[in-house]
Amino acid sequence: MSLLPKTELDFAEFELIFFIKFRYGEYAELSEVLHKYVKTQDFILMVGCGNSMLGAELFDLGYKKITSIDISGVVIKQMKNKVGKTRPEMIFEEMDALNMTYKEETFTVILDKGTLDALMPSDSEDDKMRANKLFAEVDRVLKYHGRYVIISLLQKHILKTLLDYFMESGWMIKIIRCWDVEKKHIFENGSLAMPVFMIVCIKFKSPQKMESILEINAFIDGRSKRITSKKEVIDIICGIQETIFNFRETKGEVEINFCQDGTGKSRYTIYINDVSKDQRKLLKYAAFIVPFGRETDWMFGTIEGRNYLRDSTGHDRLAVITFHRNQNYGTLNEVQDELRQTILQLAPPFMSFSSNSQNIPYLTLEDGMGHRETIFTGTSTYSGDLLVEDVTIDNEIFRRLIFLNNQSVVQSEAKMKKGKNKKLSVDSSYIASQHILYMSIPAPIIASSSSSSSSIAVIGVGGGNLCMLLNDLFPSISITGVELDPLVVEIAKKYFGLKTNEKLKVIVKDGLEFLNEKSKYDIIMYDVDNKEQGSALSCPPLQFLESSILKNVADSLGNEGIFVINVVSRLKSEHDKLFKKIKKHFSHICWYNLKEDVNRIVFATNKKLNSKQEWKNIINNSARNLENAIDEKLKLRIETIDLDHLFNNLTVE
């Protein structure tokens, strides 16, 4: 199935801009491709040579059998003076390429740089006649197995006329995109130019009608593709040109609708989101497939959200792909296969010169790789439909809790390991999320205190990852997990390895009611998600930030306690509002943004400290102690806390 941009290409407008700013390239930009098809022993004819230095540069490199013709006597005289005096073996002749005087089969290579484009500026019958006359003359004076090498912008009417003539004659046709021409323009201007193509037409003896061979190499992966039809070639080339045309006035993002060939119905909308208008800065590129029904979410449905998505993935250009209704789609792999050529077509030209150009990553909020098996489904009074699934990634099995009303978010995750009978059990040494690790940083502070009754309350249990980690690392601390949803607690125990004991208890209760009790704790942690869809603050819910609730937290902690919050929001304004509220109840606040997630971990206290820096030092020292505890007790062989990054980026509010 072919995908075509739904645009009207005003080629004349873009071509005018192209000719004002740029040309077809000279030897330096064409040499990589040219040398594959033009050899030093060839008898070369340059038709419509103009004042190009390409012939002279080839001559200096050992191509001694070059004849150049042009219909303009003035141009020929200029070139003889400019080039011929120092290269007397070069031949310059005033001649009409449509009516050449050379004998049949005189040359092994005919070079045409822009002449065909000049002869056929429109799709008129007169222009077609001139083009076909040129082709007939080329056919006459070119030896069998010789190459007619054309440098062209390949407007649609030119491409169609060229294919009509040479396919009918049984020639082999190769179309190669001249990336180095675009590279030079990007270097000099930072902006795109119309793609330049090299068309190599190889003449074969065909006593009987034979099917012409078509190949195209026009994408950044550098791979040649055998084409079976004239229409497919035209669709590919026009698709490339129309895509470039869509970028002519880009201000950071371009929206293109791709329709299903033959129907005209929109199948995909792709937003091309760039970090810069300067094409020279677009080096890293990826495609992001938005799950069904999520195209209206803030992250995908607004330019601000897509800017954030691009930045969070670490790419310079992100192609954000959304689906359309009333269309049938296959598996994720089938969608990727269908989109592959389109995604290559949308790649920034500069990426074509990267060693990684063949590997464009496809990203999505749902992991479409590996094996997926649903092991439990249910309906929660509080969270709606949910499921537990085992996903195989790189031969490792990960168990995930998913709320179906928010399928893009993994609520809880555990790594599984196989026992003797291949029975799966939870690997307790695996830390599923960075935010769980960083939320645990203050625990060593109370674990090392002289008190024998140190305690932590965790609001929001989920799969139990945070509670179990704290219990494994610091078995002397009393852990109380508070979870609103009884089904989630049941799932955590049955599928995620949550085991309560004397020091780890889980109660089913509304967290707000629990905080109203004002029980004393050394640390209170918020790790509770916001059930309100569309809220800019994904964690915690706004009710947990009301002044009365924060006062209860402060009262429960006293002057020595520590308040830890997992904050998830994409908007700075939400963080500012949150800090404003916390400052009313806590005297010292510091926070850390996780490097790879949108999570911000906030640490607050009313400890009597001499300075803000002292609170930062306490958190930093505790992070080091936590890392030591993980190394000692869990025997992890993975990186835990990035201490250097934490020390340098922990911010005191």
CB of 650 within 8 A of CB of 592? yes
The pLDDT of residue 13 is 47
| Per-residue pLDDT, 259 | 78
Mind listing the pLDDT tens digit for each residue in 326-349? 577 788 888 888 888 888 888 887
Measured CA to CA in angstroms, residue 478 lies from 437, 464, 471, 486, 653 at distances of 18, 15, 8, 21, 30
Q: Of all helices (H) and strands (E), which one includes residue 377? A: strand 372-380
pLDDT at 369 over 90: no
With 0.85 as the threshold, say if the pTM is over it. no
pLDDT of residue 358: 56
- Give yes or no for residue 355 having a pLDDT over 50: no
Which pLDDT belongs to residue 641?
84
Q: Looking at 20-169, which runs of residues are DSSP E strands?
A: 44-47, 66-70, 91-94, 107-113, 142-152
160, pLDDT greater than 90: yes
Q: Which residue has the higher pLDDT, 579 or 292?
A: 579
pLDDT for res 587: 94
For 600-617, the DSSP string reads EEEEEE----S-HHHHHH
Per-residue pLDDT, 443:
96
Confidence of residue 20 (pLDDT cuts 50, 70, 90): very low
Q: What is the pLDDT of residue 262?
A: 56
pLDDT at 352: 46
Domains annotated for the chain, with CATH where assigned, are: 14-246 (3.40.50.150), 253-364 (3.40.50), 434-652 (3.40.50.150)
Least confident of 413-417, 468-472, 633-637: 633-637
Q: What is the pLDDT of residues 449-462, one digit of tens each?
A: 766 689 999 999 99
* Arithmetic mean of pLDDT, 289-301: 71
Q: Band of the pLDDT at 92, cuts 50, 70, 90?
A: very high
pLDDT digits (tens, 9 = 90+) for 65-82: 999 999 999 999 999 999
**Average pLDDT over every residue of 583-599:** 88
Lowest mean pLDDT among 168-177, 412-421, 524-533, 628-637: 628-637
Contacts of 439 (CB under 8 A, 6+ apart): 466, 525, 527, 564, 566, 601
Q: Convert the pLDDT of each residue in 233-276 to its tens digit.
A: 998 898 888 877 776 655 568 888 887 765 667 788 899 988 88
Task: Name 527's Cβ contacts closer than 8 Å, sequence gap at least 6.
Answer: 435, 436, 439, 458, 459, 460, 462, 466, 539, 566
Q: So what's the pLDDT on residue 91?
A: 95
Please give the pLDDT value at position 23.
Answer: 66
How much is the pLDDT for 209?
A: 56
Mean pLDDT on 505-515: 96
DSSP of 292-341 = TT-TTSHHHHSHHHHHHHHHHHT-SEEEEEEE-TT-----HHHHHHHHHH
pLDDT interval class at 297 (50, 70, 90): low
Q: How far apart are CA 623 and CA 629, in angstroms?
A: 10
Kindly report the average pLDDT of the chain as a whole number. 85
pLDDT in tens, 483-503: 999 999 999 999 999 999 999
Choice between 318 and 192, residue whose per-residue pLDDT is larger = 318
d(CA 406, CA 68): 68
Residue 187, CB-side half-sphere exposure with 13 Å CA sphere? 8
Residue 634: is its pLDDT beyond 80?
no
Q: pLDDT > 90: what percent of the chain?
A: 49
Using pLDDT thresholds of 50, 70 and 90, give the confidence band for residue 15: very low
pLDDT interval class at 16 (50, 70, 90): very low
Residue 433 has pLDDT above 80, yes or no: yes
Which of 184-198, 212-226, 535-549 is most confident? 535-549
Q: Higher-confidence residue: 232 or 451?
A: 232
**Cα-flanking dihedrals φ and ψ of residue 282, to 5°?**
-95, 90
Tell which wins on pLDDT, 59 or 17: 59
Instruction: Give me the pLDDT at residue 17, please.
Output: 45
- Which string of b and e fits 513-534 if b means at least 16 CB within 10 Å? ebbeeeeebbbbbbbbbbeeee
**Residue 210 confidence (pLDDT):** 64
